[in-house]
Amino acid sequence: MTEQAEQFIKSDTKDKSWRVRRVKYNDLELAFAEEWAKESKPRSWYNFGHGMAQDLFIVTDEGWPHRPIRFLTKLTKRDHMMIATVVQWLGTNVGMSFLRTALNKCGYDIVRKKDS
């Protein structure tokens, strides 16, 4: 197991998959899991301070800048775990195949950088 994977598994981030131990075997899963953990943290200046996932369930007005009106639902710890699990799954062979297929339908492809 890489030191990076071990540190992520032991970290106290709330947005971790229930299958977080798999990151020690798959660098793509680790990359997706780490990026989601970083991007999903609530920040006061971004998405009304509620975080990326919660923002999907906030009704806003039509003006600019948008102002929150109400929550359709408040995400629970379980909800955050489920979202993190799906994001980590995108780094699996099946998840990457799903991404390639969906992107291919729009004329895009996932290409590995030559220096990686």
Q: What is the pLDDT of residue 90?
A: 94
Condensed to tens digits (0 to 9), the pLDDT of residues 20-42 reads 667 777 888 888 888 888 888 87
Q: Tell me: pLDDT of 9 over 70.
A: no
- CA 91 – CA 105 distance, rounded (Å): 19
Residues 38-50, mean pLDDT to the nearest whole number: 77
Q: Specify the pTM.
A: 0.74
Q: How confident is the model at residue 75 (pLDDT cuts 50, 70, 90)?
A: confident
- CA 80 – CA 18 distance, rounded (Å): 10
- 3-state helix, strand, coil split of the chain in percent (to 5) is 50, 10, 40
- Choose between 87 and 16: higher pLDDT: 87
- Choose between 49 and 106: higher pLDDT: 106
Residues 74-88, mean pLDDT to the nearest whole number: 88
